[in-house]
Amino acid sequence: MEKIQYFFLYSWTKLHALLPMRALYVLSDILYFWIYIVGKYRIKVVRRNLKAAFPDKNEKELRKLERDFYHHFCDYLVETLKLMHISERELQQRAYVTNPEFINDLMDKGHTTFVVYMGHYGNWEWFSGSTTRFNNLKMFQIYRPLNNKAADKLFLKLRTRFGSFCMAKNNTVREMVTLKQNKERALAIFLADQSPSKANIHYWSDFLHQDTPIYTGPERLARKLNFPAVYMDVVKTRRGYYEGTFRMLAENPKETSEFELTETYIRLIEKTILRNPAYWLWTHKRWKHKRETV
pLDDT of 46 reads 98
Q: How much is the pLDDT for 168?
A: 87
> Which 3 state secondary structure label does DSSP give 208?
coil
Of all residues in the chain, the percent with pLDDT exceeding 90 is 74
pLDDT bin (cut points 50, 70, 90) of residue 130 is low
pLDDT digits (tens, 9 = 90+) for 178-216: 999 999 999 999 999 999 988 889 999 999 999 999 999
Question: Which residues are CB-neighbours of 187 under 8 A, at least 6 positions away?
Answer: 103, 113, 114, 116, 131, 134, 137, 138, 139, 140
Answer whether 190's CB lies under 8 Å from 118's CB.
Answer: yes
Calpha distance 134→128 (Å, rounded): 12
Residue 255 has pLDDT above 90, yes or no: yes
- Give the Cα-Cα-Cα angle 273, 197, 149 (nearest 5 degrees): 90
Q: CA-to-CA distance for 239 and 227, rounded, in angstroms?
A: 34
| pLDDT number for residue 150 | 85
Query: How much is the pTM?
Result: 0.93
Please determine, for residue 124, whether its predicted confidence score (pLDDT) is greater than 90: yes
* pLDDT the model gives residue 144: 83
Backbone region of residue 216 per phi and psi (left: phi > 0; alpha: psi in -120 to 50; beta: other values): alpha
Distance CA 114, CA 239 (A): 30
Angle at 234 between CA 232 and CA 240, to 5 degrees: 135
